[in-house]
Amino acid sequence: MTQALIALAVSFVLTLVIGRFLIPELRKLKAGQEIREDGPTWHKSKAGTPTMGGIMFILGSGVTVFVLGWDAMLRGSFVHLYVFLFALIFGIIGFVDDYRKVRQHQNEGLTAKQKFILQLAAAVVFLCLMRYEGLLTNELYIPFVNVTVTVNWIVYLVFAAFVIVGCVNAVNLTDGIDGLACSVTFVVMVFFTVTGTLWSFQDRQGLFPAALAGGLAAFFVYNHHPAKVFMGDTGSLFLGGAVAALAFAMDMPLILILVGIIYIVETLSDIIQVLYFKATHGKRIFRMAPLHHHLEMGGWKETKVVFVFAGISLVFCILAFFGVIGRYPVL
């Protein structure tokens, strides 16, 4: 646990310092966010706020993982590196998307089809790598009852790939107001830090989530309302990749239902809105989707939405911890 705390602190400082230099550079590059025309009208004042700020916690957590995880890599343990690199691939996809938006000055970058294909390919490669390293089995772990169910490997691969892609895009969808995706994912990273550190078989498995938690805490300094910078798809896709990768690297993907409850609810609200709108020829269930916009339209301040959603995530992460505590021997 000591090294996890050191990783959190180091990444926090690094990200904070990187942010001091990165934000002015993003302004110089005119890497400003284009605001959705169909979004809340008061969000239009955020137009031009620098985006792609996720670069700062990607760099901060990445440097920390490499430096503090070097001894583990010398021993032949690369799990923490694999998880970071997998998340980084999604971050790169997000960066390309953001860059195209900035260059073209519109709110759409890569097409949905392009992103889906790239994300699915990355997921399959990661899963095969985890399988090769012996970290991923086709024994599906059921939290709370502490049992596993054997699933055909091909079936499991297809299931896992789509879960990863879904998780990544759900986190991306949650990044709609100042500090929301950042604060919710910080809580999730603390969960993975605690579990990864407590389980004896996980050599440095708690390192990456600890480093990312520190990076997110620093990013929140710049991203809380009113935000000085947005993480962009660069950051949100990286975070989605990190959350999914950690769940599968620890071989307990079903825990995403609990730790990712906010991501799931946000996504479901969007899906329900679209389906209901089409079925009723124009009627809506929510004032606006996803859910955080519905609450905003109902009078909730952005800070209240962030506080409540992060609090809900904390409760469900505590519940998840008790659901998986018997998964592996504790140090």
C-alpha distances in Å from residue 120, one per residue of 97, 114, 126, 134, 301: 16, 10, 10, 21, 36
pLDDT score of 231: 94
Asked whether the predicted pLDDT for residue 15 surpasses 80, the reply is yes
Q: What does the pLDDT average to over 105-109?
A: 59
* Per-chain mean pLDDT for the chain: 88
Going through the chain in order, the beta strands assigned E by DSSP cover 139-142, 147-150
What b/e readout covers 225-245, taking b as 16+ CB neighbours within 10 angstroms? eebebbbbbbbbbbbbbbbbb
pLDDT for res 325: 85
The residue to which tokens 């991923």 are assigned: 136
pLDDT band at 132, cuts 50/70/90?
confident
pLDDT value for 170: 96
pLDDT digit string, tens, across residues 152-179 = 989 999 999 999 999 999 999 999 899 9
Determine the pLDDT at residue 108. Answer: 60
Residue 38 is predicted with a pLDDT of: 56
**What pLDDT score does 282 carry?**
86
Q: Residue 43: pLDDT above 60? A: no
Average pLDDT over residues 184-212: 86
CB 293 within 8 A of CB 36: no
| pLDDT for the residue numbered 283 | 87
Q: Is the pLDDT of residue 33 over 80?
A: no
Confidence (pTM): 0.91
Residue 102, pLDDT score: 77
User: pLDDT, tens digit, for every residue of 266-294?
Assistant: 999 999 999 999 988 888 888 888 999 99
Which of 193-202, 236-245, 314-323 is predicted with the least confidence, judged by mean pLDDT? 193-202
% of the chain beyond a pLDDT of 90: 56
